[in-house]
A and B are shown apart, each in its own frame.
Chain A
């Protein structure tokens, strides 16, 4: 029975991973850029939330709502000053520039806030602890369910936005062919800026929930980036729902691995990631992603690169 509990916990954890991963997936799907500072923006966002809460005593959810516009602005700035140049300069530059940015963010946060681990759990009272008891061995935390629900709502919202709005269509068109999109009147730079703004804003949401269910410190960013990337890869690049599936698989693998021993949590997750990556490479004759796409028809929103 304990295994069933772990599977449930892992599935709910997948909701968090989908949250942290959807921004990365969006940025990669639209701009073909992997932002190595993605996790650090999440931590930056949560420090901003934490600061606001500490100064004003407001609820972390309200603080998050207040911070999101600024994070979106930060995403716009990132696109305008960093990605804009990177996109023209070849495949190495975005990786190098965003890695440098990651170092800057982490260490500035350390300078400003010191290495203390912090948490937002004290600010949300009982929500951090309450759970539904399904059986005497299976507990389902309220917070975990909330995070999962938020992840699903966000993904649905993004899908609807991309599918039904004019801006969403423009984003999809630009992600397929930026050159031709410009030729039919779409301002590709503005589109990229919107995608970056959305992506960075979502990291703030993910970071805040991380702080609620666990702890954070200035150097937590890279771990979140790795989890996000693993979720995206396991689920298949280019599909937002795939990101949720990937997140769940990762969460379940980690939760089961935690039963094996110390550090089993992290190790199992990484190993599963590598196995999926290897399987994808060596089974490239079998169109796994095509099969997945056909199964998720209507949800996939862009072709894989």
Chain B
């Protein structure tokens, strides 16, 4: 390559268009409650929570290489903290926010211990800690074991208003975490994390601060799942420990991230949408639905480890959201006249853009 120019770019035509479309979609979604009924907004709120959970679990397993079987702990603690604060007298929406923050903060001391564990040890340790959290919440006289409690403070608000506020809060939270992940993946930490995903030892050997990157990801994942739990409570209204601390949430997250595409940005979103549609269609069949999920997750991990989106990405070289780098070689030797002009034109335009 000596003597030839090359340019490293991040945005392509496709990705610029996609980013623009994403912004438009979010804007359109935010206007939705003005036009449609509570049914639609409620179901979309559910979808947004699924997306948050999928993106968070994918960040952990797909990027940081951490298989957590205990994210339901933060989901449950987010809801639990909200209930506690609300019953303590805080305004319910402030409680949701504060509860999320408090629940997410529990990850900070935990991670310094947990992140030294490997593979299966880490997985089961997360499960054990989630179980401990569940048991401790059972002890709370407010919760009374598995009886649970309702977030009755929400009754102060009109049902339609309440639903709309939940919708916007969930949409905003989802958008926030998506943007956060996007920015993160494009930053130096993101490169580090993608290196860790591909080969942790190799990454460490070139100076990547593996521990710091993992801690960052696991902290974000904790806050994300806590927010999801608090927002789920805002829609579902009742808190029952078994529902929120149940292992089925991990099953859902696993399915969404795996089937959608582990280690990709778009994958978990697609996985969440698929999951949402399946639940809509088949959820009523009860356990057969869960069996189907389990089979799909097992088959996906064995046969299609890159998930649907990952496989598409690999086969067609498509990348919608520009979280990677593209190398463009500057040499125009070997191209015919028309291609030369096109390439040189593109070069001129790229050089004129501000550095991204």
A touches B (Cβ under 8 A):
yes
**A residues engaging B (CB < 8 A)?**
28, 33-34, 36, 82, 85-86, 89-93, 95-97, 99-104, 107-108, 110-111, 222, 225-226, 229-230, 233, 263, 266-267, 270-271, 273-274, 277-278, 281
Residues of chain B within 8 A (CB-CB) of A100 are 254, 293-301
Interface status of B270 (Cβ within 8 A of chain A): no
**At the interface with chain A, which of B72-80, B126-134, B154-162, B163-171?**
B126-134
A303: shortest Cβ distance to chain B, in Å?
16
Report whether A34 and B139 are in contact in the complex, using a CB–CB cutoff of 8 Å. Answer: no
Report whether B302 and A85 are in contact in the complex, using a CB–CB cutoff of 8 Å. Answer: yes
Interface status of B184 (Cβ within 8 A of chain A): no
> Per a CB cutoff under 8 Å, which of B121, B251, B287 touches A99?
B251
Interface status of B47 (Cβ within 8 A of chain A): no
Report whether B67 and A96 are in contact in the complex, using a CB–CB cutoff of 8 Å. Answer: yes
Binary contact readout B276-306 vs A (1 if CB under 8 angstroms, 0 otherwise): 0000000000011011011111111110010
Report whether B67 and A92 are in contact in the complex, using a CB–CB cutoff of 8 Å. Answer: yes
Can you list 12 A-B pairs, Cβ within 8 angstroms, ordered by A? A34-B121, A36-B123, A85-B302, A91-B119, A93-B305, A99-B251, A100-B298, A103-B297, A108-B291, A111-B288, A270-B135, A271-B132
Interface status of B227 (Cβ within 8 A of chain A): no
Chain B contact residue count (CB 8 A cutoff): 43
> Per a CB cutoff under 8 Å, which of A34, A91, A97, A110 touches B302?
A97
Looking at chain A's contact residues, the main secondary structure is helix
Complex CA gap A107/B65 in Å reads 28
For the complex of A and B, list the 10 residue pairs with the smallest distance between their C-beta atoms, beginning with the closest: A34-B120, A103-B294, A100-B298, A100-B297, A104-B294, A96-B301, A107-B287, A107-B290, A97-B301, A107-B291
Report whether A281 and B128 are in contact in the complex, using a CB–CB cutoff of 8 Å. Answer: no
**B residues engaging A (CB < 8 A)?**
61, 65, 67, 69, 113, 116-117, 119-121, 123-125, 127-129, 131-132, 135-136, 138-139, 247, 250-251, 254, 258, 262, 287-288, 290-291, 293-302, 305
In the complex, the chain A residue whose C-beta lies closest to that of B116 is: A281
Residues of chain B within 8 A (CB-CB) of A89 are 302, 305
Q: Report if A95-B293 is in contact (Cβ < 8 Å); known contacts: A222-B247, A266-B131, A267-B135.
A: no
> Per a CB cutoff under 8 Å, which of B69, B139, B291, B300 touches A36?
B69
Residues of chain A within 8 A (CB-CB) of B291 are 103-104, 107-108, 111
Report whether A263 and B138 are in contact in the complex, using a CB–CB cutoff of 8 Å. Answer: yes
Report whether A103 and B293 are in contact in the complex, using a CB–CB cutoff of 8 Å. Answer: yes
Residues of chain B within 8 A (CB-CB) of A101 are 294, 298
Complex CA gap A297/B334 in Å reads 70
Report whether A86 and B294 are in contact in the complex, using a CB–CB cutoff of 8 Å. Answer: no
B250: shortest Cβ distance to chain A, in Å?
8
Known: A108-B287, A263-B135. 17 other contacts (CB 8 A): A28-B120, A34-B120, A34-B123, A34-B124, A93-B301, A99-B297, A100-B296, A100-B298, A103-B251, A103-B293, A104-B298, A107-B290, A107-B291, A107-B294, A108-B291, A270-B132, A274-B129
Complex CA gap A101/B301 in Å reads 11
